[in-house]
Amino acid sequence: MVRTVKARRVMAAVLAMGAVTALAASPANAAPEGSWRADLSTVDGDDVNVRSDGGVLSLENAAWHRKPDSIGSQGYLLLAEQKLGKPVNRVTAQVTADAPKGTEVEVDVRGKLNSQDWTEWTPADGGTQLSASVSTVQVRVGLRTVHDGVTAKVSDVTLLGELAPQVNAIGAAAAPLTYKVYGTREGLVGGTTANGHVIKSRDHFVALPSGRGLAPKNTGNYTVRICRTDNSRCEYAPVWDVGPWNTKDDYWNPSATRQMWKNLPQGKPEAQAAYQDGYNGGKDEFGRKVANPAGIDLADGTFWDGLKMTDNGWVNVSYLWTGSGPTGVVSTAGDPMNVRASASTSAAIKGLAANYAKVNIECYVEGETVTGKFGTSNIWDRIGPGHYISDTYLQTGSDLPVAPKC
């Protein structure tokens, strides 16, 4: 049975049948009227567990579980950036799919703010707006099933970008949002994260319980700063996985834009409320009994080496994409780099910055001359309170400092 629906995590069991007038399609990568059709025919290295047969998208392996405790199988197709002929702040998706009971189709969109920064992933449901008006967007088509061996088959995704009155925007602050949450060690070496990264020993990334802050593979578009509660150690790490417990709990956002659990205080994960207060009967979105209050999962390297934690515990997490100002992407040979207390390689080590992490640059100072991936310089960037790294390891898009002098 083929059904045409407005998409955003729509369970096939309750999809309404009926014809939808098709939107006019435009040539690939050009949509002067703000309307275009997604190319579902190409699957490549930044896509996860999906296949295309004659332009029909489905799960590659409908019995594949990323983790032992995963609910069903899932995957996504990450489309190429779409340049629009006009600014938009809302994108609506019309999806045509053969969707058996127990399968789910989700279409999310994000907007490009500049050469390195993006808005959060936002449901393309016609009612949720991007946090800013943009002229370039990227679309992600996600598939999920709760029954092994069953998959939805998506044959068409047509999108319409509009400029609507700005309401309920997430918005950016001068400083990123920061909340104290419970952190757990993810482990699962050899497993696969939600963005397709294969977990290695002493890896450096985190998982958050919402796909809204999920960075594509080998990018740090969405990065967090995690610190011990005494701020003695911190790590800057990309968000490469979804979890723990929930998948739709963007708890750092206000209730107006939070995807689920809108009656919880901003900054309080649903798992914490379930564990401490019996919220939702003490269960997560899948009906599982919540066994700890975790709001973030930490890869082993982040847990042991970045923060030097020995057990699960409370940490302060800054969601760096919610801040504003100049940014840079940490670029090393692969290993994380030391974050120093001042502009010197002999200064105290305050933690680590993982490769691919996108950090906010508060200001710069002149210090020890260092030769790094981007040349030789005495410029050091302050990326957090008392946190410095050499500018020669930051991809900023400029040979000159991008932030004011401290």
Q: pLDDT at position 29, please?
A: 44
CATH architecture of the region 2-162:
Sandwich (2.60)
* Whole-prediction pTM: 0.88
Residues of the chain short of pLDDT 70, as ranges, are 1-33, 167-173
Q: pLDDT at position 173, please?
A: 53
- Cβ-based neighbours of 346, under 8 Å, separated by 6 or more: 368
The span from the CA of 37 to the CA of 142, in Å, is 16
Q: Are 167 and 129 in contact (CB under 8 A)?
A: yes
Which residues belong to CATH 2.40.40.10 in the chain? Answer: 177-322
The DSSP output letter for 156 is E
Q: pLDDT at position 84, please?
A: 92
Q: pLDDT at position 33, please?
A: 63
Q: pLDDT at position 167, please?
A: 57
Among 1.10.150.130, 2.30.30.40, 3.40.720.10, 2.60.120.10, what is the CATH number of 327-395? 2.30.30.40
Domain 177-322 homologous superfamily, CATH? RlpA-like domain (2.40.40.10)
Q: Are 264 and 273 in contact (CB under 8 A)?
A: yes
Which residues belong to CATH 2.30.30.40 in the chain? Answer: 327-395
The span from the CA of 18 to the CA of 233, in Å, is 56
Residues written for the chain: 406
Backbone angles phi, psi at 25, to 5 degrees: -90, 150
